[in-house]
Copies of this chain bind each other. A is one copy, B any other.
Amino acid sequence: MRYEGRRERLYQWMAGEGIGLVMFEHTEVRQDPSIRWMTGHPGEGLLFLGFDPRGGSHALLVPWDSNLAMIWANADAIIPYTEFERQPLKAVQGAVAYFKTPFGSKIEIPSVTPYPLFLHYVEALLDFDVLCRKGGIQQEVMALRSIKDPEEIQIYRTLAAITNDLIDLLEQDIRSGTLGTEGEVVRFIEMECRKRGCEGTGFETLAAGPERSFGIHPFPAYTTGEFATAGLSILDFGLKYAGYTSDVTLTFVRPPLSRAQEKLLTLTERAYRLALAMVAEGIATKTIAGAVDAFFGNAKKTMPHALGHGIGLEAHESPALRNHADNGWVLQPGMIFTLEPGLYDPVQGGCRLENDILLTGSGVEVLTNARIIRL
């Protein structure tokens, strides 16, 4: 029912827009976990939603791995991608034949389709009106996905509990010296999250000791070097549970600290509190991000990244929390997103504090318990 219900909302949207067939693509080159959101299928493949003139709406999944799809996928029909020689143009022509889509219908392809490939779709679908646009089906799905339903919120409560459990264990084992290197910290997370039922991590864990924490995202992601020695160390990780990812950043602080390091920490903590205090239904995320940028600007500092982002089946999804003119997102109940102010200095190192926030109809919940940990 969950997947059918989600697809039903999209069929209604398609009917309203007069669109006969839409295509989603989740492949190595263009990833779109919306296919999992609509069918449960976690693997690569194409998904077509269409109207069948013989009656009703249908979902046709074209998976790369049929064995996987047989286990996971909820769809009206499954045709292996090999039947279309693993070529998207042949698959969309096959879908047109499957649905008997009437000539002249609107067919919407993914909005991320490269321009040169778009021209090939137009050629392959000469009898149809090919749409590839902002504001189309992908944007509709992202908007729907940005508001989590009760089942998704329940998943996030479980996921946050596991994440918080690991945060406490990490603090304990780093304090005791059991975990002393970046690699040990990362392997601990990888091992413990799976023991607790996670699919894995939501993205590559970033662990940077004081020598490397100046990078927003350290390169490499982690090494065999020491973690949480004197200075500022950053740990950015997310766990993946039932497809959904958490995303937190802790800063571990060990004295002695310079005054400049203390200032980075104080400013980051204050920026976090400032942002959190502004979270409310109806506020433009640009307003919050702008306030944080202004706060840092007053202190002659610049945050080189966005304030936060929605989380869900992707580590970064809607809503955006950026101080950009073209960011029109407004906070609404059901949204789950990060707040993650941070400052980075090539000499002093960096710090970031990131938690996952749920906005409900009755208020703001900080789901995760990441913090600046002073050793």
Bound-state CA distance A149–B214 (Å) is 33
Contact of A133 among B43, B112, B116 (CB under 8 A): B116
Bound-state CA distance A82–B216 (Å) is 13
Residue on B nearest A30 in the bound complex, by CB: B112
Query: Would A187 and B191 count as touching, CB distance under 8 A?
Result: yes
Give residues 182-232 of A contacting B (CB, 8 Å).
Answer: 183, 186-187, 190-191, 194-195, 199-200, 204, 214-217, 219-224
Residues on the B chain within 8 Å of A363, using CB: none
Bound-state CA distance A72–B212 (Å) is 13
Against B, the Cβ 8 Å flags (1 = close, 0 = not) of A65-98 are 1111010100000001110011100000000000
Residues on the B chain within 8 Å of A80, using CB: 304
Bound-state CA distance A247–B80 (Å) is 26
Bound-state CA distance A42–B220 (Å) is 9
Number of interface residues of A (CB under 8 A): 56
Bound-state CA distance A66–B111 (Å) is 31
Residues on the B chain within 8 Å of A217, using CB: 43-44, 65
Residues on the B chain within 8 Å of A199, using CB: 219-220
Query: Would B87 and A116 count as touching, CB distance under 8 A?
Result: no
Contact of A219 among B68, B224, B316 (CB under 8 A): B68
Q: Is A132 an interface residue (CB 8 A)?
A: yes
Query: Would B304 and A66 count as touching, CB distance under 8 A?
Result: yes
Query: Would A215 and B116 count as touching, CB distance under 8 A?
Result: no
Majority SS at the chain A contact face: loop
Residues on the B chain within 8 Å of A28, using CB: 316
Residue on B nearest A324 in the bound complex, by CB: B85
Query: Would B223 and A64 count as touching, CB distance under 8 A?
Result: no
Residues on the B chain within 8 Å of A115, using CB: 111, 113-115, 118, 132-133
Q: Is A344 an interface residue (CB 8 A)?
A: yes
Q: Is A369 an interface residue (CB 8 A)?
A: no
Q: Given contacts A114-B114, A132-B115, are A200 and B220 in contact (CB under 8 A)?
A: yes
* Shortest Cβ distance from residue A303 to the other chain B in the assembled complex, whole angstroms: 9
Query: Would A67 and B344 count as touching, CB distance under 8 A?
Result: yes
Residue on B nearest A221 in the bound complex, by CB: B200
Contact of A200 among B87, B191, B222 (CB under 8 A): B222
Bound-state CA distance A66–B345 (Å) is 10
Residues on the B chain within 8 Å of A67, using CB: 214-216, 344, 346
Query: Would B304 and A82 count as touching, CB distance under 8 A?
Result: yes
B-binding residues in A (CB < 8 A)? 28-29, 42-44, 64-68, 70, 72, 80-82, 85-87, 111-116, 118, 132-134, 183, 186-187, 190-191, 194-195, 199-200, 204, 214-217, 219-224, 302, 304-306, 316, 324, 344, 346
- Report 20 cross-chain contacts, Cβ distance below 8 Å, ordered by A residue: A43-B215, A43-B217, A43-B219, A44-B217, A64-B216, A65-B216, A67-B216, A82-B304, A85-B324, A86-B324, A113-B114, A116-B134, A183-B194, A187-B187, A190-B190, A194-B222, A194-B223, A195-B224, A199-B220, A200-B222
